[in-house]
Amino acid sequence: MKKIPSFTIDHNRLLRGVYVSRRDVTPSGDVITTFDVRMTEPNRQPALSPEALHALEHLAATYLRNNPEWKERIVYWGPMGCCTGNYLIIQGELESSDIVTLLRDTMKFVAEFDGEIPGATPRDCGNYSFMDLEAARKAARTYLDEVLTVITPDNLVYPQ
């Protein structure tokens, strides 16, 4: 079986950052871009806890789907199985640099969030108590301060 492209990235050299993971064209001709929002360095830094990623998923998805400029183009936000980041899928042929400001705003929202996590009720979520708001806030703040505010080309293009 052919190896999928995301498994061909050298994760030993991958930095925290924002990467175009893939672009697809829908049957109707729309381009959608999948971004790799890498929050920890794979195999070198501790992965995020599943509870932190779950809280971050609820908060980031809520923010993105309510963002006045982007909400109509947001397709999906969700955690990576390896717990080192998230995928963001947006309608349009975009580059990583096109969404840095959006991600800064998203991570600021998560880092400063105080209150009940949206959708964290038994009615709204299949595992509503499996969340760690403080860990999500800390992860968002670290990613914002250490990556997104000082972003370089090395954090925007997959290593060769």
- Domains: count for the chain: 1
In this predicted structure, the answer to whether residue 24 has a pLDDT above a threshold of 80 is yes
Nearest to 79 by CA among 30, 160, 135: 135
Q: Give me the domain span that covers residue 17.
A: 5-151
Decide if 158 is inside a domain: no
As given in the structure block, the two tokens for residue 131 are 């969340």
Q: For residues 16-38, give the mean pLDDT.
A: 97
Decide if 156 is inside a domain: no
Q: Calculate the average pLDDT of the chain.
A: 96
Decide if 41 is inside a domain: yes
**Burial class (CB within 10 angstroms; exposed 0-12, middle 13-18, buried 19+) of 109:** middle
Check residue 8 and give its pLDDT: 83
What confidence tier does 160 reach under pLDDT thresholds 50, 70, 90?
confident
We report the CATH number of the domain holding residue 117 as: 3.30.1360.80
